[in-house]
């Protein structure tokens, strides 16, 4: 058998009458549209399912990860101390009252005897915040 | 290119090349019905591939590649199924001056494995080079060479030593 024998057979077959085609271009185009439509539908369904699956996973897993751990009771009670300066007491504006008193014994304002402090802020000896009350007996 | 333009171009190409592609498929498959299935599948793949992919190597070359590869894939599938249903017995070439030789050779070609048969068809019908055949089959040139040699050897084995005598007799008969 030679290679030319093959060419001869192929040529003879080509020269012979071949049957008509059983399909046309429109059949192929129509089938192509059908396949494309099916692929689009499959892609849409697939992406929808993937979205639903992702949502389900998120709902199931994420709350468990984000749940706060139960708080332990604290052993030490912490207190806080304010470092802010105490509110300043604003002086009550008042009209100067006529001084009533005897010079040298302290001034008396509004009928109360004024307590003079020493220059270092300590009360003078003998002066106390709670003056001795008179013994009722 | 819009879908409508591609549809028109595809239809035009189908009209020009469908019959020749089906004949290539017939040489590969050995019967018209299977050849028609292979060509239909190949044209569908071409249509879905679209103009950009198809034009990269030329419509005819692309289509021929799909036909050959679809044939090989189908044969592989048939081999796994271990059975093959055909409507009619294998078709034979029309009677002619040396029809006996052709019939014997055509029947022997049916026993050649698909890949080797594809090499024989591409090399001796389409007259493709080794490189061109390798491109269609997606393999190396060396593989094409070995597959072609094995295909020819399988044919000769199948035909036996009596084939050359038969051919000589036929030629003598035609001449005398």
For the segment B67-120, what is each residue's pLDDT rounded down to a tens digit? 999 999 988 876 655 555 555 555 555 544 457 778 888 888 988 999 999 999
Give A14's contacts in chain B (Cβ within 8 Å).
23
**Residue B83 to chain A, least CA–CA distance (Å):** 24
Q: How far is CA A136 from CA A119, A132, A133, in A?
A: 36, 12, 9
pLDDT band at A77 (very low <50, low <70, confident <90, very high): low
Lowest mean pLDDT among A34-48, A114-128, B35-49, B113-127: A114-128
> Residue A107 has what DSSP assignment?
E
For the segment A34-67, what is each residue's pLDDT rounded down to a tens digit? 999 999 999 999 999 999 999 999 888 876 666 5
Q: Residue B37: which CATH number?
A: 1.10.1740
Quick one: B83 and B145 in the same domain?
no
Lowest mean pLDDT among A64-68, B15-19, B26-30, B136-140: A64-68
> In terms of CA atoms, which chain B residue is nearest residue A11?
B125
Is any Cβ of chain B less than 8 angstroms from the Cβ of A30? no
Quick one: B73 and B154 in the same domain?
no
Is any Cβ of chain A less than 8 angstroms from the Cβ of B45? no
Domain count, chain B: 2
pLDDT band at A120 (very low <50, low <70, confident <90, very high): low
Is any Cβ of chain B less than 8 angstroms from the Cβ of A20? no
Q: Give the closest of A18, A27, A36 to B23, CB-based.
A: A18
Quick one: B2 and B44 in the same domain?
yes
Quick one: B138 and B174 in the same domain?
yes
End-of-domain residue from the set B67, B91, B115: B91
Domain extent at residue B104: 93-176
Quick one: B99 and B166 in the same domain?
yes
Contact B111, B120 (CB under 8 A): no
Quick one: B102 and B117 in the same domain?
yes
Lowest mean pLDDT among A90-94, A109-113, B3-7, B88-92: A109-113
- Section B15-37 average pLDDT: 92
Quick one: B37 and B100 in the same domain?
no
Quick one: B102 and B87 in the same domain?
no
> What is the percent of chain B where pLDDT is above 90?
49
Give B105's contacts in chain A (Cβ within 8 Å).
1, 5-6, 9
Distance CA B174, CA B97 (A): 7
Quick one: B54 and B117 in the same domain?
no
Q: Average pLDDT over chain A, rounded to whole?
A: 72
Quick one: B101 and B80 in the same domain?
no
Quick one: B103 and B77 in the same domain?
no
Query: What's the predicted TM-score (pTM) here?
Result: 0.66
How many CB atoms lie under 10 A from the CB of residue A32? Answer: 22
Lowest mean pLDDT among A3-7, A86-90, B11-15, B43-47: A86-90
End-of-domain residue from the set B91, B114, B145: B91
Lowest mean pLDDT among A70-79, B61-70, B81-90: B81-90
* Residue B106 CB contacts under 8 Å (≥ 6 apart), including other chains: A9, A13, B30, B92, B93
More confident residue, A130 or A38: A38
- Interfacial B residues in 109-128 facing A (CB < 8 Å): 109, 120-121, 124-125
- Interfacial A residues in 40-99 facing B (CB < 8 Å): none
**Residue A64 to chain B, least CA–CA distance (Å):** 47
Quick one: B99 and B43 in the same domain?
no
Give B163's contacts in chain A (Cβ within 8 Å).
1
Q: Domain coordinates of chain A in residue numbers?
A: 26-66
End-of-domain residue from the set B69, B91, B113: B91
Angle at which helices B141-159 and B162-175 pack, to 10 degrees?
Answer: 70
């Amino acid at each position: 058998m030679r290679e030319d024998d093959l060419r001869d057979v192929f040529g003879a077959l080509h020269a012979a009458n071949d049957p008509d085609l059983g399909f046309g271009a429109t059949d192929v185009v129509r089938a192509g549209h059908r396949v494309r439509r099916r692929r689009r539908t499959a892609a849409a369904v697939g992406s929808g399912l993937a979205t639903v699956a992702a949502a389900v996973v998120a709902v199931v897993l994420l709350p468990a990860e984000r749940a706060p751990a139960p708080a332990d009771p604290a052993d030490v009670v912490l207190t806080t101390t304010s470092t802010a300066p105490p509110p300043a007491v604003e002086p009550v504006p008042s009209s100067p009252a006529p001084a009533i008193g005897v010079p040298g014994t302290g001034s008396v304002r509004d009928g109360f005897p004024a307590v003079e402090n020493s220059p270092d802020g300590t009360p003078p000896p003998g002066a106390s915040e709670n003056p001795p009350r008179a013994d009722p007996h | 290119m819009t879908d409508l333009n591609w549809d028109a171009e595809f239809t035009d190409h189908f009209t020009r090349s469908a019959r020749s592609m089906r004949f290539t498929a017939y040489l590969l498959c050995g019967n018209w019905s299977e050849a028609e299935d292979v060509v239909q599948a190949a044209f569908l793949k071409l249509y879905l591939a679209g103009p950009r992919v198809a034009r990269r190597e030329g419509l005819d070359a692309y289509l021929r590649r799909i036909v050959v590869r679809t044939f090989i894939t189908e044969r592989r599938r048939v081999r796994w199924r271990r059975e093959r249903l055909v409507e009619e017995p294998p078709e034979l070439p029309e009677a002619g001056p040396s029809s006996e030789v052709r019939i014997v050779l055509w029947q022997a070609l049916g026993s050649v494995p698909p890949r080797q048969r594809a090499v024989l068809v591409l090399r001796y019908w389409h007259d493709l080079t080794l490189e061109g055949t390798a491109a269609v089959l997606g393999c190396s040139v060396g593989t094409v060479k070995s597959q072609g040699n094995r295909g020819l050897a399988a044919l000769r084995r199948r035909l036996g030593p009596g084939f050359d005598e038969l051919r000589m007799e036929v030629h003598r008969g035609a001449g005398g």
